[in-house]
Each structure stands twice: as structure tokens, then as C-alpha cells.
Structure 1
Amino acid sequence: MPLSPALRVLALAFGALVSTTFWQPSIAADPIKINGAGASFPAPLYQRWFRDYFLAHPNIQVDYQPIGSGPGVNSFIEGRLDFAGSDQPLTDELAQRAGDNILQLPLTAGAVVLTYNLPGIDALRLSREALAGIFLGSVARWNDPLILAANPGVEIPDLPIVVVTRVDASGTSLVMTRHLSAISEAFANEVGVSMSPDWPALLRARGGLIRGNGNGGVAAFVQATVGAIGYVQYSYAHLPNMQMASVENREGDFVSAGSESFRAAIEAFRAKLDPSQLTDPEGAGAYPILSLSWLVMRSGGDDAKSQAMRDVVRYALVDGQADASKLGYIPLSEKAVSLILEELDSRK
């Protein structure tokens, strides 16, 4: 069966790191303002790219607001934005609403991690059963037997678990619920895969649910709440040195997030070219929760703003990939960059 265009990009994206290339600017000097919003998953990397681009081209200012994939995509479709960030390609319905000139490009990849706040507990392991139980509300205290069983010798306190989720329609929520649904039939039946999950009443009834805006909001609530746990894109926990749980993968390994476990997961995906390998990859040492993040823009147009938008994307794909690993993302491969640039250039 031939691979879809998205899967072809995925297959190439998870290869060797990008090699050194040189981006050449092509934009005139008239002031231009480009507005974007959407997923908070790629926001730290986007904002680094747009800042550095502006430093080289002070006449071109790109503003990106991390308001969540859902609101960002809807605002883009309604014509209020020049581009949107999304942690999944547009559904057929949204693509039809957006029109024929939509261009969707994966610009980076990353991991979703479980960050928690338990003072003095720097090495926490969560089994698949415990992880699903936490988000179903059935595992309500940190000294639950399911958690203790995976952490022998660790003095985990008897504290209520406070689950921090997203309040906005979120690609990060989609990635997290997709993984939880893959590892837990109970979660798949009760909550399922969603950008806006209806979290179990059991969580709400005991006051164990807090909602934050964006990845940054979730991270801030976790930092401020002893006993809290939440899901965020890796950089939101890695850069401020927050506690991150090691999670059980399909092989039964407890894996911490980092370059080695990401590489193991990437190799598992490349071996089978199966999208489920991003949701729950096979392989010893593979980190189990990965995702691509997409930029959605209008194709074509010879006006200065359209040219500037294409040039900004070209910069992100070429020179900008060097910033990805520094900020906790996974750089695209050289072949993936070449394929995406070909798509970008073919739609002028």
C-alpha cells in the first residue's frame, strides 16, 4: 500500500539530524507584520525562530500566540491569522472549510512528558496501569499500590494526586489521550482520543482536576501545586528543570525522556512506518509518546507578505533546525527538509 504524503514526511522526518546548510534571504525591505497562533507545543521553538529571523530582518516581524491548536486553526480558517500551529494535520472537514490553497508543513517533532511536583522524589516511575489510573481518577493518592509497586524503596508521600490538564482545545491533549487510549481500554472507552477531553467525573468529584491554558499554563500549575501531575511538551519541563516521570513503554521498560529514548522511538517508527509507532512505539528504551507539529498557511501569492511567510518557513526548515535539539525538540532529517521545501516551492 503506498504511503500517504503525511506518512512519507514522517518516514523521512525521523532520520539523521539535519546537515549544515545555508538559508538565503529573499525579502524586500518594506515593513511586514505576520500574525500566527495555535499550538503551544512548538511555541518555544517558533518564538526562537521568529526572534532570530527578526534580528536578521528587522522589517519583518512574526508574532505567534500559543492559544492552543483548536482556537488557532479556527482563527486561521476565519481569516484572522496568516498562519496557525497545529499538532495534527487538519481534518477533512477543517481542510474543506479552509479552502483549496491550504499548505500544511511539519516543522518539528517532540515528546509529551509527565511532569510532577513531589519534593524530594526526583526519580518517579509510572507503570502503564498507574498512568491510565491517574487520568481516569481511580488512582487518587500518590501512595497507591500501583505507584508503590513500580517504585520499591522510594518513600512516596500519602498525598492526593492533582491532575493538571488543558482548558483549551489542544494538540498536546490529543497526543496524550491518544497514548492513554492505546495503553488502556478503560480510558479509550471512557474518555477516548480528543483535543478537548471530557475528563472523568471521578476526577472532578474529588476536586482532583485543574485546567491550565497552554503547555505553559499546565507547567505553571504543576510547579505551584504540591502533589500535582500534568502533561506538557518536553521543553516546558526540561528547560526549567522540572521533575519528569519515567514511563513504562510497550516493552515494559521504564524510560525517561531524552535524546537517547527519543532516538530509540524514532528507530522503531522507521522500521515499520506505522503511525501507531508514534502513539506507542516498540523497542527497548523507546520513549512512548511522540508527535509531529504542523504549520498551516496559505499557499501561493506574489505579494510581499506571502513571500515573507514562505521565507520565514524556509529559514525555520534550514538554519532553524539547529535550534530544535537545544530547546528539547527533535530536528527533522535533511531528506525531510528537502521534501518539505519542495512542497513549499511547488505551491507558489
Structure 2
Amino acid sequence: MKKTLVLGLALMTAGSAAAQSLTGAGASFPYPLYSKMFAEYKKATGVDVNYQSVGSGAGQKQITERTVDFAGSDNPMSDEALRAAPGKLLHVPTAIGAVVPAYNVPGVTQPLKFTGRVLADIYLGKIKTWNDRAITALNPGVTLPPLPITVARRSDGSGTTYVFSDYLSKVSSEWKSRVGVGNSLQWPVGTGAKGNDGVAGVVKSTPGAIGYVELVYAKQNKLPFGSVQNRAGKFVLADNGPASAAARGVVIPADTRVSLTNSANADAYPIASFTYVIFYQDQKYGNRTEAQAKALKNLLTWMVTEGQEYNEGLDYARLPANVVSKARSIIGSMTYGGKRL
């Protein structure tokens, strides 16, 4: 282990001595990464971080109600939601992830190709079978069966849904006008399931199913997933490099709330997103102690610096250096009763 990492963790451990546990809730999108991060953090510091994978919508609700130390969300909270919170909330990205169209089509062994329009039409219920001309035209040489398509989608308030629908709204005017963007949607068709793991389970158990899930869930469940045509016209299969490329050239605002979908970068995977932690700038509320506030600041600092070493091994892209710099500045603005931590 590097000397700087040892020193940093030693300082964090000392600063967190009086606050040995933290709680978070929200997105299932980063849950595999956070499980690894928080296990390693506990080994190094003794601080236990309990994160509940309940969906981005529930995470945003819990941080607004101040029942957790931090929320996880794949989409930033809206201006309206931020105004409704009892204090100033901050967003810090922790990773870049890719949302993939995973499917279960017996006999198909190579990755299928999809365009945004075709994905939108599948989820609008306009494309109903796997041998539809719109799909076969994109996949010459692939024998696709006349199997009905079972659409799997989230039933809970989901940042993954937000990312997927944000992308579809950029590539399909019909999707934008009929369904739109959000954590929860009025779906035209589909079988609902809770969490990325729930959607992956529906796809795995249902011949003919398609579902949108974060990349690691497709890989963990050994589900095939398709390449998606990006804005430059290239069909790109999700991986760390193409997901990272989605942030390249994007102007990152000071509060880091930004969409990465449908990137103009020629090498980018088009359905990619930051995943965020959300927390209060001033940590003095309820029964919170200054030690608890410092423990959270230490954790967040570690997640965007040393903790980044765990991203790529779990199929998440690391944060670009300019985003790390902005994240550290945001974390550095945390206060306790108006006093800088």
C-alpha cells in the first residue's frame, strides 16, 4: 500500500474515532461498487458504512427527510427537489457507469446491435417480436426467432430509469413527448421489477426478454447485452473506456449535476452516467455530532480519491481528474454549524 494512502487512512481513522458508523441509501446502480468500497474502508478505518440499495428515488426521499447520512442517486436532484429540502444539498460523483440493453434470445450468440430509435420503439410497444424488420436490418447474418419481446423495466423510483429515459428522450421525439424523463414513468408496456438485480432476474428467467441494467449486473448474471449506436454513428459495446469517454469534452458545472447520455465523443458509449452521493453542506441538524460530520467528510474524500482504485475492477469507469478536483472542492465546503470541517 502506498505511503500516502496509509497516512490518509490513518488521519481518517483518527478523525472518525468517535463516529464508527454511517448510513446511506439509494441507487442500486453503484451497489456492487459501494459494497466493495465500504468493506475495504471498514478494514482500513474501522468505520462501518451501511448502504441500502433501495433505488435512487427512495434515496433522494430519505436524504430529504434526513434519515440517512447520505443518499446514492444516478441522477442529480432537480432544482425543485433541492428547494424542497430543509437545507442545502450537495452532489458528488463517485463513478461513471453504463446502462446496457441485456436480453435473453435463445440461439443468438453474438452481441446484437441496437439504435436508440429501436430501443425506444421496443419500450413504446411498437416493436413486438425479435424478428421485426427494424432489428433484423441492424443485424444482418443473425437468425432472429419470431419470439415475442418481453419488456422488463423498473417498478421502483430508479436513477437507472432516469438515465435510460434521458437517453431515449434525446434520440426519439415520440418517446420524449409520450413518456419523457424521470425516475418513475408511466410505461406503455412492460413487466416491472425492483432494482437492477430484479430486472436482470426477469431477463435471465424469461426467454424473449429485454431489460436495461447497469453493466455489472449484466456481467454478474452472464446476460448478453447489445452494442448501441452513438451520436457519431458507431455501434459501441459498453466497457470502462467507452463509458469514460462519455464525460470527455463535457463541461462539468461547479455543482457537477450534468447529463452524459448521447455524448458527441466519437468513442463514447451513449447510455452512460455519473452516479452521485448526495449530502447536506451543513451537517449540524437533528442529533448529529461533529464527529459524525467529520466521519462523513472523510468517507466521501476517500471515495473520490483512493477509493477510485476499485471502480474498474467492477466495471465502472474512474472519475476524470477534473471531476475529482471539483468533487474535492465540494466536499471541502462542508460545515458544521457554519464552521468549516
Greater length-normalized contact order (CA 8 Å, ≥ 6 residues apart): 1
Taking a change above 3 Å as real, the CA distance of residues 98 and 185 of structure 1, as seen in their structure-2 partners, is same
Cα deviations by residue, 1:184-231 (Å, 9 ceiling, x for unpaired): 11111111111111111xx2xxxxx21111111111111111111111
1:137 aligns with 2:121: no
Contact 1:21 1:319 (8 Å CA) reproduced: no
Q: Which secondary structure does the structure 1 equivalent of 2:250 belong to?
A: helix
Residue 95 of structure 2 corresponds to which residue in structure 1? 108
Shift of 1:31: 5.8
Q: Which secondary structure does the structure 1 equivalent of 2:15 belong to?
A: coil
Shift of 1:133: 1.1
Contact 2:89 2:280 (8 Å CA) reproduced: yes
What is the rounded CA distance, in whole Å, between the counterparts of 1:146 and 1:190 in structure 2?
A: 20
Q: Which secondary structure does the structure 2 equivalent of 1:284 belong to?
A: coil
1:256 aligns with 2:226: no
Q: Which secondary structure does the structure 1 equivalent of 2:192 belong to?
A: strand
Q: Which secondary structure does the structure 1 equivalent of 2:246 belong to?
A: helix
Corresponding residue to 1:44 among 32, 35, 54: 32
1:192 aligns with 2:174: no
Q: What are the equivalent positions in structure 2 for 1:170-209 lying under 5 Å apart?
A: 170-200=158-188, 203=189, 209=190
Shift of 1:276: 8.6
Contact 1:239 1:327 (8 Å CA) reproduced: no
Report how many residues are paired: 321
Residue ranges of structure 1 left out of the alignment (5+ in a row): 1-18, 204-208
Q: What are the equivalent positions in structure 2 for 1:34-113 lying under 5 Å apart?
A: 34-58=22-46, 60-113=47-100
Contact 1:39 1:68 (8 Å CA) reproduced: yes
Corresponding residue to 1:119 among 106, 122, 125: 106
Residue 310 of structure 1 corresponds to which residue in structure 2? 297
Contact 2:200 2:221 (8 Å CA) reproduced: no
Residue 3 of structure 1 corresponds to which residue in structure 2? none
Q: Which secondary structure does the structure 2 equivalent of 1:188 belong to?
A: helix
Residue 339 of structure 2 corresponds to which residue in structure 1? none
Contact 1:265 1:287 (8 Å CA) reproduced: yes
Cα deviations by residue, 1:274-301 (Å, 9 ceiling, x for unpaired): x997221224342111111111112344
Taking a change above 3 Å as real, the CA distance of residues 343 and 268 of structure 1, as seen in their structure-2 partners, is closer
Residue 142 of structure 2 corresponds to which residue in structure 1? 154
What is the rounded CA distance, in whole Å, between the counterparts of 2:116 and 2:77 in structure 1?
A: 29
Contact 2:259 2:273 (8 Å CA) reproduced: no
Taking a change above 3 Å as real, the CA distance of residues 259 and 109 of structure 1, as seen in their structure-2 partners, is closer
Contact 2:22 2:296 (8 Å CA) reproduced: yes
Give the TM-score, by structure 1 length. Answer: 0.85
Cα deviations by residue, 1:85-122 (Å, 9 ceiling, x for unpaired): 11222222221222334232122211111111113313
Contact 1:129 1:146 (8 Å CA) reproduced: no
Contact 2:92 2:276 (8 Å CA) reproduced: yes
Contact 2:241 2:317 (8 Å CA) reproduced: no
Letter in 2 for 1:93: E
Letter in 2 for 1:236: Y
1:325 aligns with 2:304: no
Residue 220 of structure 1 corresponds to which residue in structure 2? 201
Cα deviations by residue, 1:56-89 (Å, 9 ceiling, x for unpaired): 233x211111111111111221122121111222
Contact 2:117 2:168 (8 Å CA) reproduced: no
Contact 1:167 1:211 (8 Å CA) reproduced: yes
**What's the % identity of the aligned pairs?**
38
What is the rounded CA distance, in whole Å, between the counterparts of 2:300 and 2:45 in structure 1?
A: 14
What is the rounded CA distance, in whole Å, between the counterparts of 2:220 and 2:278 in structure 1?
A: 27
Contact 2:204 2:221 (8 Å CA) reproduced: no
1:247 aligns with 2:228: yes
Q: Which secondary structure does the structure 1 equivalent of 2:120 belong to?
A: helix
Residue 338 of structure 2 corresponds to which residue in structure 1? none
Shift of 1:129: 2.8
What is the rounded CA distance, in whole Å, between the counterparts of 1:34 and 1:94 in structure 2?
A: 24
Taking a change above 3 Å as real, the CA distance of residues 162 and 312 of structure 1, as seen in their structure-2 partners, is same
Residue 217 of structure 2 corresponds to which residue in structure 1? 236
